[in-house]
Chain A
């Protein structure tokens, strides 16, 4: 069910604005070009999407963040662990390969990228839609991609059979690192529609 409602279009607009802002902030943070594209905005059946993602066995590091407010969202950023090490080196302006394990700094890098992108998103909501959202401190997790994603969907899936998802990929141009971001409305859809459309 692709882009068939005003709400989906509105969420896609929020995502696009957020992506533009995040792209600039990320490029600044990692001192390299970051190209972000919205892969898909869709409404998915929870069990189908969970089953599909649960088969993903890449070892990833991710950050969960709740955007708390009148129209709450859940945000997830994740990247393959090996790529998180490269991102850490880029942020610290070290030679690629200097970070050899998923240590305190690599965890912190994932946490900070999550922080900065979620701040950009809450800033867009506040500036362009007059909606106040406050990001919670990120929770960093390392596990299989399927486990990370299932955990992310858990609360929303308990209350709803279908979820809106904005799936976004950003690519760090010089290093060809793919990172994944998801934005998921977690509150009442009617309130969300009223506020955004």
Chain B
């Protein structure tokens, strides 16, 4: 069975690497990374990954705007939001807009796996 593909978007390289390590260890294939919302939308359109992990606070275009653009392009997109503890309002907005699941930083490996698994269904 083909591996589910993932686009990881976060402005922090260390967070991208953490998510990539966890995802690949658990059988997913990270096909691209992005550092801001514009890259998220461009790479989604280009690569059509099965799952996107999307940080909320990012430069240029934030995760909420990128989520809206991705869902406008593909209403079936599976997007997992990545957020810090104080961003509850933004997170609730993302869920109302159609995000599939969320991860709160700092995260445990199991929570990332669970969110990816929910998004892959």
Contact = CB atoms under 8 A, between A and B. Distances in A.
Given A109-B14, A123-B86, A25 B57 contact: no
Contacts of B14: 88, 91-92, 105, 108-109, 111-112
A120 B85 contact: yes
B93 interface: no
A26 B85 CA distance: 12
Residue from A108, A116, A123 having most chain B Cβ neighbours under 10 A: A108
Chain A: number of interface residues, binned into ranges: 20 to 34
Interface residues of B, number: 18
Contacts of B21: 92-93
A108 B84 contact: no
A28 B108 contact: yes
Interface string B97-111: 000000001111000
Interface in B1-54: 11-15, 17-18, 21
A119 interface: yes
Contact of A137 (B57, B86, B107): B57
A7 interface: no
Nearest to A28: B106
A135 B86 contact: yes
Interface string A19-43: 0010001101100000000000000
A97 to B, nearest CB: 17
A115 interface: yes
Interface of A: 21, 25-26, 28-29, 88, 91-93, 104-105, 108-109, 111-112, 115-116, 119-120, 122-123, 126, 135, 137
